[in-house]
A and B are shown apart, each in its own frame.
Chain A
Amino acid sequence: MASVSVPSERARGVLRRPTAVTGFWSWFTTIDHKKIGILYGATALMFFLIGGVEALLIRVQLFQPDGKLLTASQYSEVFTMHAITMIFLVVMPLSAAFFNYLMPLMIGARDVAFPRLNAFSYWLFLSGGLFLYSSWFLGGAPNGGWFGYAPNSTTDPTPGMTFYAIGLLLTGIASTAGAVNLAVTVLNMRAPGMSLFRMPAFVWMGLVVQLRLAFSLPIITVALAEMLFDRRFGTHFFDPAAGGDPILWQHLFWLFGHPEVYILILPAFGIISEILPVFSRKPLFGYQFVVFSGIAIGFIGFGVWAHHMFAVGLGPVANTAFGITTAIIAVPTGVKIFNWMATMYKGDLRFTTAMLFAIGTVMNFVVGGLSGVTHAVVPSDYQQTDTYYIVAHFHYVLFGGAILGLFGGLYYWWPKIFGRLLNERAGKINFWLMVIGLNLTFGPMHILGLQGMIRRTFTYPESLGLTFWNEVATVGAFMIAFGVLVFVVNAVASFRHAKDAGADPWDGRTIEWSIPSPPPIYNFEEIPTVHALDDFWHRKYAEDKSGRLVPVQAGGSADAGEHHVDGHGIHLPGPSYFPLIAAAGFPLIGYGIMYHWWMAFVGAVVVLVGIFGWALEPSAE
């Protein structure tokens, strides 16, 4: 299709400047936000399969009383790694994949603000993920839960929680760099006319998420550093015998951890705020309310952290205050729910797979949201805390909300990203397997929790009468697994078709649908000028006097790929090795902290080589 003006090559020092923009090696040097988005997505889906296998191990172990598949310590490793994987290596990077790929397209930019920093973020995230998983082969995986409560986490003799601290520090640095990069992109690189309140709701949610990341990750960075120092260098931050206080870990962790919960769910909120209007053929109802409630969640989310600590004994005043803020944060979330329902009301609904996933997200998130409100009632929370009721709650939010929303996004934007539609019939099988499966898995956990089944228990005796609902939950988990399998087959099979999706298969509203699928490397041949919210829609349709939609003659709906596109004269920054090199040094520093200092020294040298090579390399030649 389009021939792209690639920056001319020139030999430089030891490393020749990479020039290829296609082919296997181009993936290692790419700084194109779209390829990096695909890398994030593919890696996240890989980890999703691994985390899913861990979930199945948990469910098989609990299928029957006195399960023998895993020992208690193996079970601790598996549930900890399941949580860390799903949160830090699946939902966060899958969200980052969508933000990376789509936000520049949706605001009319040619790339992110710092393309090489973007590549660095990806490689460092991957390094952190592999570092965490290397723990299985180096003496034991993290086993103290994703919350890593001290002093259990600081005194455990196996190296698992050291891997946890360093691994999360690595992914945290990656996320911070990515957050600054994407926030600057949204604030600074919008096309002419794309004012803040003409940005798609997805971009708004993206901006809120990046700012929350930038302001919550430094707190966990400090907490992890303190944990690491306690474990490796004998400090006393969480050691009561020396005057330290394990509760401080809980405060620092949840000061990050609760904003993190919204970091996980807001991307899905943004995605369904795009999907619902398109398949209802109506604008998003109360766009400003959706945006402002997202911002409100962003702020209030920093003031609710201690509702994770009601049972710690902070006293009635603190518990009441945090109970109130927790009830308050349900309000902006509820506002969004009503906005989505009103968007669909009297709409011209098309039940595509993406639409089904979006509706499924709203419905299942409401279940999780309501059980969340019950936790805001402190005396009720005393009963629920550390039981399967909590497990049920956050899986409805994170699986029923975040994962379903992200899958909706996959079905919705797959044709834009790869130029090929996913099979709708298989998609609907995928959807129903996942939705029925998740309700079978996590629904019974409410009952189990209220019956007193405690969290993180590796087995239970038959006499407790918990067997039946545990069996149901395990059956549901396998249904989810089959749903995911259908998706994998669907995704692989889509690459056997021709790229025939066209630029705008869904009759979309936002400007990413105005360019060819997949988009050319430079995104927009001409940077568009934006005149309204849902600009692309208004280019395609006008309203007649009675308010009915009429297509605009020669509107923007023609495939942009059909007229002359050559891309000459568009200068893009060239590919680079240095982000990969700089990122590769960090896990070496991590191993150095754990094993031998010379490794850390080598790692630091590699990082410096990467950074100086990067600084001295012109962005394009």
Chain B
Amino acid sequence: MAQAAVEHHGGGSEHETTTGLPNTKLAMWLFLASDCLFFGALISTYVLYRGRGIEGPFPHDVFDIPYTSVSSFVLLGSSLTMVLALAAAQKRDFGRMRIWLLATALLGMTFVGGQVYEFTAFHREGLSLDGNLFGSTFFLLTGFHGAHVVIGILMLLSLVSFSYADKLPEDASFPVEMVGLYWHFVDIVWIVIFTVVYLIPTKPPALPGG
């Protein structure tokens, strides 16, 4: 029996794994791969139903591309602040880390706030979840993405408050890196959604049911 193998703790220790990757990181990658299928199915639904709605309002009736471009830019910018937070955490500069985490959360909240405003505006123009097919597919897809962003914001704010309360583990950069993986994933998904939903134009159906 190799004595060396006995020394380290059995259970969920983050070092000395078989693959060399920490358990949590491997789990995060697997979860994100699984989440790809989740958004894959949602986006497929949207694409399959594109232009098949019978009643309006249709996408071109409600979309305000410049407005959504700005909020998309805000969300993408939050990936930069997330990277800066991780860099600060790795340098053990926890003050700066908290600032960048807060900045990331604020940018995320700006995006979600923008989405709430956009949803309200669309609703005023007659687009609703139960109104027509476009509304159903649009609100479900962007709504689930928005929920992902909200969960990300909660995790970012938790990191900040855990850091203040000195509850983060010795290597604080590790949880920051994990939340960062999730955050970047949610940003990347938005690039796909923004392209598919907003940028690729949808023609209204010429003949309903035809």
Interface positions of A (Cβ within 8 A of B): 109-111, 113-115, 176, 179-181, 183-184, 187-192, 194, 214-219, 221-223, 225-226, 229, 233-237, 239, 241-245, 248, 252, 255, 522-524, 526-529, 570-573, 612, 615-616, 619
Contact = CB atoms under 8 A, between A and B. Distances in A.
A612 B45 contact: no
| 8 nearest A-B residue pairs (beta carbon) | A110-B10, A234-B130, A235-B136, A218-B38, A222-B41, A218-B37, A188-B17, A113-B23
A615 B129 CA distance: 35
Contacts of B42: 222
A192 B206 CA distance: 66
B12 A573 contact: yes
A216 to B, nearest CB: 8
A219 B37 contact: yes
B129 A218 contact: no
Given A229-B129, A572-B11, A181 B167 contact: no
B73 interface: no
Contact of B12 (A113, A187, A252): A113
Contacts of B144: 225
A110 B13 CA distance: 11
Select the residue from B17, B26, B45, B132 with max chain A CB neighbours within 10 A.
Answer: B45
A592 B143 CA distance: 19
A242 B132 contact: yes
A190 B49 CA distance: 46
B9 interface: yes
Contacts of A239: 133
Given A111-B11, A528-B1, A236 B158 contact: no
Interface stretch (B28-36, B81-89, B180-188, B193-201): B28-36
Contacts, number: 158
Contacts of A114: 12, 23, 27
B177 to A, nearest CB: 16
B21 interface: yes
A225 B136 CA distance: 12
Contacts of A184: 23, 26-27, 30
Interface string B20-59: 0101001100110111111011100100110011110000
Contacts of A191: 5
B207 interface: no
Task: Provide the main secondary structure of the chain B interface.
Answer: helix
Nearest to A211: B30
B137 A237 contact: yes
A572 B9 CA distance: 8
B1 A529 contact: yes
B10 A215 contact: no
B133 A244 contact: yes
B204 to A, nearest CB: 12
A272 to B, nearest CB: 27
A472 to B, nearest CB: 43
B140 interface: yes
Contacts of B23: 113-114, 184, 188-189
A403 B129 CA distance: 43
A397 to B, nearest CB: 25
A218 B37 CA distance: 6
Given A235-B140, A526-B1, A214 B30 contact: yes
Given A223-B41, A236-B136, A527 B5 contact: yes
Contacts of A612: 158
Contacts of B12: 111, 113-115, 573, 619
Interface string B136-172: 1100100010000000000000100010000100000
A521 to B, nearest CB: 11
A192 B5 contact: yes
Given A188-B17, A571-B9, A219 B49 contact: no
A226 B38 CA distance: 12
Contact of B33 (A215, A225, A244): A215
Given A184-B26, A245-B48, A522-B10, 5 more contacts: A226-B45, A235-B136, A235-B140, A242-B53, A248-B48
Contacts of B1: 526, 528-529
Contacts of B45: 222, 226, 237, 248, 252
Nearest to B55: A242
A243 B53 contact: yes
B117 to A, nearest CB: 21
Contacts of A221: 38, 41
A252 B54 contact: no
Interface string B84-119: 000000000000000000000000000000000000
A187 B23 CA distance: 9
B87 to A, nearest CB: 24
A487 to B, nearest CB: 34
Contacts of B49: 237, 243-245, 248
A292 B198 CA distance: 43
Select the residue from B6, B31, B34, B53 with max chain A CB neighbours within 10 A.
Answer: B34
B129 A235 contact: yes
A57 to B, nearest CB: 35
Contacts of B17: 188-189
A179 B27 CA distance: 10
Nearest to A216: B37
B18 A218 contact: no
Contacts of B136: 229, 235-237, 242, 244
Contacts of B30: 180, 183-184, 214
Contacts of A194: 18
Contact of A570 (B10, B26, B36): B10
B129 A234 contact: yes
